[in-house]
Amino acid sequence: MVKKRVVVAFFFAAIASQLAPESQADTEKYEVTVQRNIPAKMRDGVTLRADIYRPKADGKFPVLLVRTPYDKTGILNFGLRAATRGYVVVAQDVRGRFTSEGEWYPFKNESLDGYDTVEWAAALPDSNGKVGMFGGSYVGATQYLAAISKPPHLAGICPTVTASNYHDGWTYQGGAFEQWFNESWSSGLAHDTMRRRSENNIKPLEGSKVLPLLSYPVLEPPSSTDIATYFTDWLANPNYDNYWKQISIEDHYADIQVPVFGIGAWYDIFLGGTLRNYIRMKTEAGTEAARRGQRLEVTVGGHAGGGRKVGAVDFGEKLQLDDEDVMLRWYDWLLKGEANGVEKEKPVRIFVMGKNEWRDEDDWPLARAKSTRYYLHSAGAANGLGGNGTLNTIVAAEEKADQYIYDPSDAVPTIGGPLCCQALPTGIGPQDQRPAEERKDVLVYTTAAFAKDTEVSGPVSLDLYASSSAVDTDFAGKLVDVWPDGFAQNLTEGILRLRYRNSQEKPEL
């Protein structure tokens, strides 16, 4: 991020490439045949259904597989596009969703179902036996969870804006329950579950047994009891225990044996997991091909929005890439063996906010980045924008402690940030933080105006020394960039429930 001035506002509250030239596949277009609701039997007898987009031509083609809880018909446009380029595209509803049988429970069945589906797809008549996967968010999770089961015909995955751990970084953040995300996501998922229950309640023949016929319940409303048992299970498992460990990608990097092209985004709710997957799989993946085959792209937005304007900030005309083409070009190289230049490119591409331009890099974090410590200072009254909090590189001496009173009936509002699955009334992504910074229960520490443009790229952490009169407290911190006109743009943020300060597994009060 490049700007003239930087401010750090710590919210202490009890909560807070250039496009590639046309490839061979672009110039050799195929007609497409589409098959709907093709059944695939899982090892336990449950049938999952998929739409298949095939090139209308003789020969064998690599397969691109997407497994989604969000309705497989949404893949129509990409399915047609990729099939015209010489891929068999398989779009499957995961277990318990839309046209597939079984009971829906997030994450639980994705490893075994993913394995079975990859092997089923590899054996399709037009398949050449090489299967790649794609998709974002939970659809990224279906890729990683399939990969850790090591299906023999899986050749690569391209997960977008997804996590590395479904406890910390998905359901919880620093031990705090991700209430807005968990509730908005679960409520959205419940629509299809209620639809399926409603359809099961349509029993017109039973009306023929009722005499005299005076009325007919055209549609009995389904019960919402146990509509999302996983939500209460999440609440019942706040610690990082075996409930979470069995589905954690971080605990299974050694089982991933294929190259991964991970795509993340600044302001995305799962950015930390995207970066962590790339960094750790370079050394911890299960094969040399997987360790050397890691690639990373970081754009802006993700779940926080697409287009050149994300939240309240316009990032310019260079931001938008054809991400489908970027992925297809990678798969053209990986699955088809095309000499399209991918093998000569640097493994990392990031969008530099502020400069608003793309830049290719040798690695992430950037080796040339200089880790710099900034220290919090005040005369004991850093409360709000009018306080005396400062931020600089001078080591703190003996100074008065800053204090504030937290009122749970008037909590500091979340303004923008890495949210999902819709915006809050206060916005999403980058937003002006001044309304929160004006509060007395927010401590603000501000640098002097920078004398020159300064890029801040890399991991950001906060070492906080604090005490609380409460049994437990959540402390949230934000790194904010203050523009010359005063606009206070949130860059990154974090939260920690203090009982988890030493361990996510063993809380300490």
**Chain segment 441-466, per-residue pLDDT in tens:** 999 999 999 999 999 999 999 999 99
Q: Is the pLDDT of residue 4 over 60?
A: no
What average pLDDT score do residues 178-205 get? Answer: 86
Say which range, 205-209, 405-409, 482-486, has the weakest mean pLDDT: 205-209
pLDDT band at 13 (very low <50, low <70, confident <90, very high): very low
Q: Is the pLDDT of residue 6 over 80?
A: no
User: Which residue has 């075994």 as its token pair?
Assistant: 112
What average pLDDT score do residues 107-127 get? Answer: 98
User: Which residue has 């055209």 as its token pair?
Assistant: 218
| Fold for the domain defined by 32-170+244-361 | Rossmann fold (3.40.50)
Annotate 208-232 with b (16+ C-beta within 10 A) or e (fewer). Answer: eeeeeeeeeeeeeebeeeeebebbe
Looking at residue 327, what is its pLDDT? Answer: 98
Phi, psi of 160 (to 5 degrees): -115, 135
Q: Is the pLDDT of residue 111 over 50?
A: yes
Mean pLDDT of the chain: 92
What average pLDDT score do residues 342-370 get? Answer: 97
Q: Is the pLDDT of residue 208 over 80?
A: no
Looking at residue 196, what is its pLDDT? Answer: 84
Positions marked catalytic:
137, 268, 303
What average pLDDT score do residues 186-211 get? Answer: 81
Higher pLDDT, 222 or 111: 111
pLDDT band at 7 (very low <50, low <70, confident <90, very high): very low
Q: Is residue 336 within 8 Å of residue 25, measured between CB atoms?
A: yes
Looking at residue 27, what is its pLDDT? Answer: 59
Structure tokens at 335: 């699955």
Q: Is the pLDDT of residue 156 over 50?
A: yes
Helix (H), strand (E), coil (C) string for 429-470? ECCECHHHHCCCCCEEEECCCCCCCEECCCCCCCCCCCCCCC
pLDDT band at 322 (very low <50, low <70, confident <90, very high): very high
pLDDT band at 201 (very low <50, low <70, confident <90, very high): low
Annotate 52-91 with b (16+ C-beta within 10 A) or e (fewer). Answer: bbbbeeeeebbbbbbbbbbebeebeebbebbbbbbbbbbb
Instruction: Express as a percent the part of the chain with pLDDT over 70.
Output: 93
| Topology match between the domains 32-170+244-361 and 369-508 | no
Looking at residue 396, what is its pLDDT? Answer: 86
Looking at residue 218, what is its pLDDT? Answer: 72
Helix ranges restricted to H, 386-429: none
Q: Is the pLDDT of residue 352 over 80?
A: yes
Higher pLDDT, 25 or 57: 57
| Sequence spans of domains, the chain | 32-170+244-361, 176-237, 369-508
What average pLDDT score do residues 184-210 get? Answer: 82
Domain 369-508 coded CATH 3.30.2350.10: no
Looking at residue 12, what is its pLDDT? Answer: 33
Q: Is the pLDDT of residue 471 over 60?
A: yes
Name the burial class of residue 322, with classes exposed (0-12), middle (13-18) and buried (19+) by CB atoms within 10 angstroms of its CB. Answer: exposed
Rounded CA gap, 205 and 220, in Å? 14
pLDDT in tens, 17-54: 333 344 454 557 999 999 999 999 999 999 999 999 99
Q: Is the pLDDT of residue 221 over 80?
A: no
Looking at residue 223, what is its pLDDT? Answer: 74
Q: Is the pLDDT of residue 14 over 60?
A: no
